[in-house]
Amino acid sequence: MEKFCVSIPKIELHAHLNGSLSRATLKDLGCLEEDVQIYNKSDIDLQTCFQLFSVAHKATSDVNSVKYVTKQVIKEFADDNVLYLELRTTPREEQNMTEEEYIEAVVDGITSHKSPIVVKLLLSLDRRRSIEEQRKTVKSIIKFKKLYPDIVKGIDLSGNPSFGEFYEDLFIEARYNGLFTAIHCAEIKNDIEAERILNFNPDRIGHGTFLHPESGGSQRLWQMNKMLQIPTEICLTSNVICRTTKSYKEHHIQAWIKDELPFSLCTDDKGVFNTSLSKEFFLAYQHLNLNREQLWKISRNSIDYSFASNREKQELRIKLKEWRQENMQ
Ligand code: 5GP
C-alpha cells in the first residue's frame, strides 16, 4: 500500500515554502547539523513549532537562496508524484531583500523549474503583523497578481494563531482584485474568529481543527461548516506533531468523512514535520481505513478545490483517470 500511495498522482494545496525545505536543502545552504536536527522532533506543540521556522528563514535571506529553495521544493514534490502544487509563502523583508524582491525571487523559481508539475503561488499574510503592514503586503500581492496572473492565484492568512486577527477588509480587497482566498481557520479554539472567517466564506480553509463540537468547536460552527461546504485543507502529521489533535485515529478529519464534507490531504510543512504527501496518504490508509478508491477520489476531488484554470483542471482530471485505468482496474 505504501507503493500505491507513492505512485498515485497527487494534488498538494497547503504547503508553506519555508516549512517545506528538506534537511538536504538546508545543509546545501550552509545550515549546521545541530540546527537541522531541531526538525527531528516528533512531538512538539504549536508554539514551539513556530520557533522552528527561524532556521529556514535565516537560510533564505537573499534572492538567490529564495529562488534556489523554491526550485528544490518544487522538485521534491514532483519526485513524490505530485502533479499540481500550490505553494504559499509570506513576503518578507530582509537586510538585502525587499518584500517585493522576495516575491519576485519565488516567482522566478516557479517559472524556471524543470520538473513535470504545475505550480501556483499563494501569498500569505502573517497575522502577527499590524494591519498597516498587512495592507502594504496586500498591495504588493495585488500588483504581482496583475503581473503574473497564471502564477499568483491566491492569498492566505497564516502565522501563529495565538496572535493577531483576521482583518476581513484586506481579504475583501484581495477578492475584489481576483485573488482566491485560503484562510487558516480554528487552528486553536477561537469560536468568534472562526465564525467571522466562515462568514467571509473563503474559497478554502486550513486545518479547521476546532470546528466540530467533539474536537472543541461548537454545534453552531459545525452547522455553518456543513452548510457552506468550504473545502478544508487537512494536515494530519502537522496536527498530531503539534498536538492540536490527540492522535491520527481521533483526528478531526473523521467528522469530515462522516458528514461527507469536502477536504484535501496536505503536508503543511514537509521539512519541519519530516513528511511527504505520499506519507500523508499512507497515514490516511493506516489510521482512517481509507481504501484505494477513496484515496484516489481525494486526489481527484482536490483538483476541483484547486485554484488552477478550467483547462488545467481538465488536464489533471484526464491524467488521474488514465492512471486509474492503468493501475486500479
Ligand atoms: P513561509 O511563509 O516563510 O514560506 O513559511 C513559513 C511560515 O508559514 C511560518 O513562519 C508561519 O507563518 C506559516 N506557517 C507554517 N505552518 C503553519 C501552520 O501550521 N499554521 C499557521 N497558522 N501558519 C503556519
Mean pLDDT of 223-252: 96
Residue to mutate, 12, 14, 16, ligand 1, most ligand atoms under 8 Å from C-beta: 16
Q: Is residue 187 among the annotated active site residues?
A: yes
Percent pLDDT > 70 in the chain is 99
Distance (Å, whole) CA 69 – CA 60: 8
Chain Cα centroid distance, residue 71: 17
Return the ligand 1 atom nearest residue 159 CA.
Answer: 12
Q: Which of 86, 187, 233, 280 is catalytic?
A: 187
Measure the CA–CA gap between 73 and 233, rounded to whole angstroms: 19
- State the average pLDDT over residues 117-121: 98
Q: Report the pLDDT value the prediction gives residue 45, as an integer from 0 to 100.
A: 84
CA of 327 to the centre of ligand 1 (A): 36
17 CA to middle of ligand 1, Å? 8
- pLDDT (0 to 100) of residue 38: 74
Residue 40: band (very low, low, confident or very high) from pLDDT cuts 50, 70, 90: low
pLDDT of residue 170: 98
The residue nearest atom 3 of ligand 1, judged by CA position, is 18
Percentage with pLDDT > 90 across the chain? 93
Mean pLDDT, residues 128-139: 98
| Cell numbers found for residue 78 | 514532483
| Residues in CB range of 121: below 8 A, 6 or more apart | 86, 87, 88, 89, 106, 107, 110, 148, 151, 152, 153
* 273 Cα: distance to centroid of ligand 1 (angstroms): 12
Atom of ligand 1 nearest to the CA of 235: 19
Q: Which of 45, 53, 133 to mutate to test the pocket of ligand 1 (most atoms within 8 A of CB)?
A: 53
8 Å CB contact between 11 and 82: yes
The pLDDT assigned to 80 comes to: 98
pTM of the full predicted structure?
A: 0.98
Ligand 1 atom nearest to 160, measured from its CA: 22
Residue 239 CA to ligand 1 center (angstroms) comes to: 13
Mind listing the pLDDT tens digit for each residue in 168-189? Answer: 999 999 999 999 999 999 999 9
Pick from 90, 121, 163, 190 the residue to mutate for probing ligand 1's pocket: most ligand atoms within 8 Å of its CB. Answer: 90
pLDDT of 125 higher than 80? yes
In the chain, where are the structural domains located?
Answer: 2-327
Average pLDDT over residues 227-239: 98
> What span, in angstroms and rounded, lies between the C-alpha atoms of 205 and 14?
10
**pLDDT band for position 224 (50/70/90)?**
very high
Residue carrying the nine cell digits 498597516: 132
Instruction: Please say if the pLDDT value at position 241 is more than 70.
Output: yes
The pLDDT of residue 285 is 98
Q: Which of 50, 266, 270 to mutate to test the pocket of ligand 1 (most atoms within 8 A of CB)?
A: 50
* C-alpha 88 to ligand 1 mean position (Å): 9
43: pLDDT strictly greater than 80: no
What pLDDT was estimated at residue 227? Answer: 98
Our measurement of the distance from residue 183's CA atom to the centroid of its chain's CA atoms, rounded to an integer in Å, reads 10
Ligand 1 centroid to 234 CA: how many Å? Answer: 15
pLDDT band at 37; cut points 50, 70, 90: confident
Q: Ligand 1 center to residue 322 CA distance, Å?
A: 35
Report the C-alpha gap between 151 and 157 in whole angstroms. Answer: 18
Tell me, which fold does domain 2-327 have in CATH? TIM Barrel (3.20.20)
| Protein residue with least CA distance to atom 24, ligand 1 | 159
Ligand 1 site residues, Cβ closer than 6 angstroms: 16-19, 53, 89-90, 124, 126, 158-159, 161, 184, 187, 238, 268-269
Nearest-atom number in ligand 1 for the CA of 128 is: 12
Q: Is the pLDDT of residue 205 over 90?
A: yes
Q: Does 32 have pLDDT greater than 90?
A: no
